[in-house]
A and B are shown apart, each in its own frame.
Chain A
Amino acid sequence: MKILVGIKRVVDYNVRVRVLPDGSGVDTDGVKMSVNPFDEIALEEALRIKEAGKADEVIVVSAGGDECQQQLRTGLAMGADRAIQVQTSEALQPLSVARVFLKIIEREDPGLVILGKQAIDDDNSQTAQMLAALWDRPQATFASNMDIDGASATVIREVDAGLETIEIDLPAVVSVDLRMNEPRFVKLPDIMKAKRKPLEVISVEDLGVAIDGQISVSQFTPPPQRDKGIMVEDAAQLVQELKNRGLL
Chain B
Amino acid sequence: MSEREIMEYDVIIVGAGPAGLSCAIRLKQEKPDLMVAVIEKSSEIGAHILSGAVIEPEPMDELLPGWRDDPPPICIPVEKDEIWLLSQKGRRRLPTPPQQKNHGNFIVSLGAMCAWLANKAEALEVDIFPGYAAAEVRFTPEGAVGGVIIGDMGVGRDGGQKDTYMQGIEIHAPITILSEGVRGHLSKQLIRKFDLDSDSDPQTYGIGMKELWRVQPGKARPGLVQHTAGWPLDSKTYGGSFIYHLDKDRIAIGFVCGLDYEDPEFVPFEAFQQMKNHPMVHEMLEGGEILSSGARAIVEGGYQSLPKTEMPGALIIGDSAGTLNVPKIKGTHQAMRCGILAADHIAKTSSVEGFDAMLRDSEVVRELYKVRNIRPAFYKGFWRGFIRAAIETITAGKLPTTLSIHPDDSSLEKLAGYAPPDRQWVDRDLPPRDRLASVYFAATAHDEDQPVHLQILEPDICSTRCVEEYNNPCTRFCPAHVYEMVEDGGSRELQINSANCVHCKTCDIKDPYQIINWVTPEGGSGPNYQNM
Contact = CB atoms under 8 A, between A and B. Distances in A.
Given A15-B528, A191-B129, A185 B445 contact: no
A189 B44 contact: no
Residue among B5, B291, B530 with the highest chain A CB neighbour number at 10 A: B530
A185 B166 contact: yes
B530 A15 contact: yes
B530 A32 contact: yes
B169 interface: yes
A187 B166 contact: yes
B161 interface: no
B445 A14 contact: yes
A223 interface: no
Contact of A14 (B7, B112, B528): B528
A41 to B, nearest CB: 12
A188 B43 CA distance: 14
Contact of B169 (A21, A29, A189): A189
A246 interface: no
A30 B74 CA distance: 10
B169 A185 contact: no
Interface in A1-40: 12, 14-16, 18, 21, 29-32
B530 A189 contact: no
A127 to B, nearest CB: 26
Which of A14, A16, A188 gathers most chain B CB within 10 Å? A188
A42 B36 CA distance: 34
B154 A185 contact: yes
B163 interface: yes
B132 interface: yes
A192 B127 contact: yes
Given A12-B528, A15-B530, A187-B5, A32 B47 contact: yes
B73 A30 contact: yes
Contacts of B528: 12, 14-15, 32
A184 interface: yes
Contacts of A30: 73-74, 109, 112, 530-531
A139 B346 CA distance: 59
B278 to A, nearest CB: 24
Interface in B163-190: 163-164, 166, 169, 171
B485 interface: no
Interface residue tally on B, bucketed by range: 20 to 34
Contact of A189 (B7, B73, B109, B153): B7
Given A188-B150, A188-B169, A15 B164 contact: no
Which of B7, B163, B171, B528 has the most A CB atoms < 10 Å from its CB?
Answer: B528
A182 B164 contact: yes
A220 to B, nearest CB: 15
Contacts of A184: 164, 166
B443 A188 contact: no
B75 to A, nearest CB: 12
Interface in A180-214: 182-185, 187-189, 191-192
With most chain B CB atoms within 10 A of its CB, the pick from A14, A15, A29, A184 is A14
B441 interface: yes
Contact of B43 (A16, A32, A183): A32
Interface in B367-383: none
B5 A189 contact: yes
B169 A187 contact: yes
Contact of A188 (B7, B47, B74): B7
Contacts of A185: 153-154, 164, 166
Contacts of A12: 43-44, 528
B117 to A, nearest CB: 15
Nearest to A12: B528
Interface in B20-62: 43-44, 47
A142 B153 CA distance: 28
Interface of A: 12, 14-16, 18, 21, 29-32, 182-185, 187-189, 191-192
The 10 closest A-B pairs by CB, nearest first: A185-B166, A14-B528, A185-B153, A32-B44, A14-B443, A30-B531, A14-B445, A188-B169, A182-B164, A16-B443
20 contacts: A12-B43, A14-B443, A14-B528, A15-B443, A15-B528, A15-B530, A16-B441, A16-B443, A18-B291, A30-B109, A30-B530, A32-B44, A32-B47, A32-B530, A185-B153, A185-B166, A188-B7, A188-B150, A189-B5, A189-B7
Given A12-B43, A14-B43, A189-B7, 20 more contacts: A12-B44, A12-B528, A15-B528, A16-B292, A16-B440, A16-B530, A29-B73, A30-B531, A31-B530, A32-B43, A32-B530, A185-B153, A185-B154, A188-B7, A188-B129, A188-B132, A188-B150, A189-B5, A189-B169, A192-B7
